[in-house]
Structure formats: C-alpha cells, structure tokens
Amino acid sequence: MKTIRDFDLLGKKVIIRVDFNVPIKEGKILDDNRIVMSLSTIKYAINQGAKVILMSHLGKIKNSEDLEKNSLKIVGQRLSEYLEKNVVFVPVTHGKELKDIVDSLKNGEILLMENTRFEDLDGKKESGCDEDLSKEWASLGDIFINDAFATAHRKHASNVGIAKYLPSGVGFLMEKEVEAMEVLMKGEHPFIVILGGAKVEDKIATIRHIIEKCDYLLIGGGMAFTFLKAKGLEVGKSIVDSENLSFAKEMLERYPNKIILPMDVVVAEEMKEDVSTFIVDIEKMKKELMGLDIGPKSVVNYSKYLENAKTLFWNGPMGVYEMKNFQNGTKGLLEEVTKRGNTLYSILGGGDIVAAATLLGYKDKITHASTGGGAILEYMEGKSLPGIEAIRGQN
Ligand code: AMP
C-alpha cells in the first residue's frame, strides 16, 4: 500500500482526508486528540511544498439545523494554533468559490474545506459515495492521501470515492493504525481482550469473532452485568441489556473458561459523583444498588491474566470513569497494563477508553491508542475496511 512518502509533493495539490470528527459542546472542542494525531501528515505535506487541501466530516447532518453546530470553522482555528500557520477555511463544499480558492493556493499553504457531510443535505451525496461529487472533489487535487482511520469503515465520497480518480496513498496516522491492526490480527499469544463500556449490543459481532482468537476475554463496565445476570446473579439496578441476555448466556455456555467476569463491584444508589459507594462481592449484590465500577479483587484477578500476555486489545472502560468515585477499576488495570512496558503490545480502541487513559494519565504509556472506535471494532469483526481497501486496490 502506497504512503505519502511515495509521492513527490512539491507544488502538487494534495487532498488529505483527515478525521476531525471531534466532540464539541457549546462551541468548544472537548477533546482535540484527533487533530493532534493528524499533525504529522499535514506538517510533512507542508514541508514538502504541497498545496494542502484538507477534508473531514463532523457529526451527522440530517437537516439544516445541524449545519451551524457541525461547522469545521473552530477546528480550523485550533489546527492553525497547532501549526502556527494560517489555515484558510472555505465555508462551502463544492462549486466555483471552492475551486478558485484551491487554485490560488501557493506551495506550503493549507486550506480546510467545510464539513464534507454538508453534502448529505442534498440526497446523502457524501455518505452515499455519490459518483459526481467524488469526481468533483477529486478534480480539485493531483494526489489523494487518506489519513482518516476512524472513518475507514465507511464508504463515503471523501474517502472511497475520491480514491477512484486520483493516485492515492495513506498518511502517517493511517499507516500506524494499520500496522497496529496487523499486530492484533496476528495476536501473539497469550492474547487478552478486555471489553467494557455500556452497550453489549454494539459489540456482539466483535465478541463472536474475537472470542475464537483470544485466550481470555475479560469483561467489565456496564456490559458485565448482562453477563452476570445471564449467569443467574442478582445485579440490582445495574444496567442490563435485556435483549441480549440470551446472547450472553450462549457465550458463557460455549466459552465457560474464556470469559472472565468481575468478582466484586463498586456500587451506589445512584450514578452521581458525590454519592456514598461500597464494594460488594458479586454474590452479595442488593436489589436497590447499581454496579458502577469493577472492584479491587477483580482488578487483582484480571491482572493475573495480563502477567504473561503478549498482546492486548482493550475497548470500553471498566466503570463510569467520567466520575472520580468510579474510576479506580479502569485506573488499576491501566496501571497493570502499562507496568508491562514493551513486553506487552497493548492497543486501546474506541473513544471512551482512550479518553479514560488520557484523563488518568496513561495514554502515552500504551503501545497504541487508536483514533478509531467503529473502524477498529469492525476490523475485529473480521470485516475489511473500505477506506483502506480503496487505497490498497490501487497498488
Ligand atoms: P460504550 O460507548 O459502550 O463503550 O460505553 C462507554 C460508557 O460506558 C462510558 O460513558 C461509561 O461511563 C459507561 N459505563 C462504564 N461502566 C458502566 C456501568 N457499570 N454502568 C453504567 N455505565 C457504565
């Protein structure tokens, strides 16, 4: 697969598809990790004398009210601060104005086009990988570089469509993410998977696929209670995905020695930062309580499985890490994982676990914190990723 290094960029108009789909609340960027992670490719292109055209989506555009809150303008401002360089923001996604500004770019200059999904208002052209839109966008550049790993599971005009019409390669972030996924697929044993977070539903296909490959699946977070209930245990007011109890039961019956569940949990009457919390053994759960984190015995038990592990994939936090009183399970396990240093190839996949590792100060000690949530889960389901295949197909 070609990478940005394989092209002569000097004086060329280089379209870089980045993933600037960052969380924004009340006009403020909450987490700019994805912007930071794209900097190396963008800086490289600038330094090589390219005329850089950046494209990204942001959120979903279903009606005209979604337009203003999903504008990439503030992302452009943040990018400009990081690059210490002017980023020309173009508030449209097609037409003469865009073309004229692209044509006026000088070597080393950089432009950010408005949210590609603005084109979804007019018949889902971006998300439907519209042919004419793909051609129009491709006509703006000489080379296409896809660096948007977090979008790689989508077949959209701005990642798959453009690649059909231009010589294409991947950027540094995409290259790093693909390398990490290849390590995961080889999964040197012992290969441990940790799954947490709230929803079982989103992870069923991943569980089915990964359970065959890994040695142990350690389950925590809200998900664990669906499995504990399927075992016939009292789970009180903890979140349970009732529709998937039979799936959990089936998995427990088929893989009784592979699926490891919490032995104790941190409970409270409500999910609040200032409530009193208790630690209870899992058999002693009470009806009026809810489990919001794994307990210390579970951390010790899970750590045993990590002792000799060679590969780790971790998606989803062990508790409600956003609140101080339910962080310890996730923190304790992150400590154990990072203690292993280079002897354990550890990959965190998915927004929440990466956000937790960042918040708790462990992100830089992990082998690879992926920018992809949906993309990595689909890859773990055994699916190919259209955004990557579109580039691979070219060379
Ligand atoms: P997901 O998107 O499925 O990975 O879920 C991530 C969310 O799960 C985070 O916002 C956590 O606060 C939440 N979470 C983790 N553990 C629990 C729990 N025991 N009960 C409720 N929510 C949880």
- One domain, residues 67 and 191: no
List the residue whose alpha carbon is closest to atom 17 of ligand 1: 222
In the block, residue with structure tokens 């965190």: 348
Pocket test for ligand 1, best of 320, 323, 354, 376 (most atoms within 8 A of CB): 320
Q: Look at residue 211 and tell me if it is in a domain.
A: yes
Query: What's the DSSP call for residue 244?
Result: G
Tokens of 271: 């999910």
Instruction: Provide φ and ψ at 354, rounded to 5°.
Output: -70, -40
Distance (Å, rounded) from C-alpha 275 to C-alpha 19? 38
Pocket test for ligand 1, best of 228, 352, 380 (most atoms within 8 A of CB): 352
Distance (Å, rounded) from C-alpha 248 to C-alpha 259? 10
Query: What's the DSSP call for residue 295?
Result: -
- One domain, residues 261 and 282: yes
- One domain, residues 270 and 331: yes
Pick from 45, 169, 171, 39: which is nearest to 108 by CA? 45
The residue from 140, 174, 208 where one domain ends is 174
Q: Look at residue 143 and tell me if it is in a domain.
A: yes
Pick from 92, 103, 164: which is nearest to 130 by CA? 164
In sequence order, the β-bridge partners of residue 264 are: 281
Ligand 1 nearest atom to the CA of residue 199, by list position: 3
Q: Is the CB of 241 under 6 A from ligand 1?
A: no
- One domain, residues 243 and 124: no
- One domain, residues 160 and 269: no
Query: What's the DSSP call for residue 232?
Result: T
pLDDT at residue 395 in the model: 62
- How many Å lie between the centroid of ligand 1 and the Cα of residue 293? 9
In the block, residue with structure tokens 């009470």: 286
- How many Å lie between the centroid of ligand 1 and the Cα of residue 267? 14
Residue ranges making up the domain that contains 118: 4-174
CB 141 within 8 A of CB 166: yes
- How many Å lie between the centroid of ligand 1 and the Cα of residue 262? 15
- How many Å lie between the centroid of ligand 1 and the Cα of residue 382? 24
- One domain, residues 118 and 85: yes
Pick from 355, 320, 312, 319: which is nearest to 336 by CA? 312
**CATH number for the domain harbouring residue 251:** 3.40.50.1260
Per-residue pLDDT tens listing for the chain (395 residues): 999 999 999 999 999 999 999 989 889 998 898 999 999 999 999 999 999 999 999 999 999 999 999 999 999 999 999 999 999 999 999 999 999 999 999 999 999 999 999 999 989 999 999 999 999 999 999 999 999 999 999 999 999 999 999 999 999 999 999 999 999 888 899 999 999 999 888 889 889 999 999 999 999 999 999 999 999 999 999 999 999 999 999 999 999 999 999 999 999 999 999 899 999 999 999 999 999 999 999 999 999 999 999 999 999 999 999 999 999 999 999 999 999 999 999 999 987 899 999 999 999 999 999 998 889 888 888 889 999 999 998 76
In the block, residue with structure tokens 């499995």: 227
Q: Is the CB of 295 under 6 A from ligand 1?
A: no
**In terms of C-beta density within 10 A (0-12 exposed, 13-18 middle, 19 or more buried), how is residue 382 classed?**
middle
pLDDT at residue 379 in the model: 85
Q: Look at residue 392 and tell me if it is in a domain.
A: no
Distance (Å, rounded) from C-alpha 304 to C-alpha 105? 57
Count of structural domains within the chain: 2
- How many Å lie between the centroid of ligand 1 and the Cα of residue 198? 4
List the residue whose alpha carbon is closest to atom 18 of ligand 1: 222
Handedness of CA 141, 142, 145, 150 (dihedral sign): positive
- One domain, residues 372 and 238: yes
Distance (Å, rounded) from C-alpha 346 to C-alpha 365? 9
Q: Look at residue 76 and tell me if it is in a domain.
A: yes
Tell me, rounded to whole angstroms, the distance of Cα 236 from its chain centroid.
31
Within 10 angstroms of residue 168's Cβ, the number of other Cβ atoms is: 25
Q: Is the CB of 120 under 6 A from ligand 1?
A: no
pLDDT at residue 377 in the model: 86
What are the residue numbers of the active site?
34, 199, 351, 374
List the residue whose alpha carbon is closest to atom 20 of ligand 1: 222
Ligand 1 nearest atom to the CA of residue 202, by list position: 3
Q: Look at residue 53 and tell me if it is in a domain.
A: yes
Ligand 1 nearest atom to the CA of residue 225, by list position: 19
- One domain, residues 146 and 234: no
- One domain, residues 16 and 59: yes
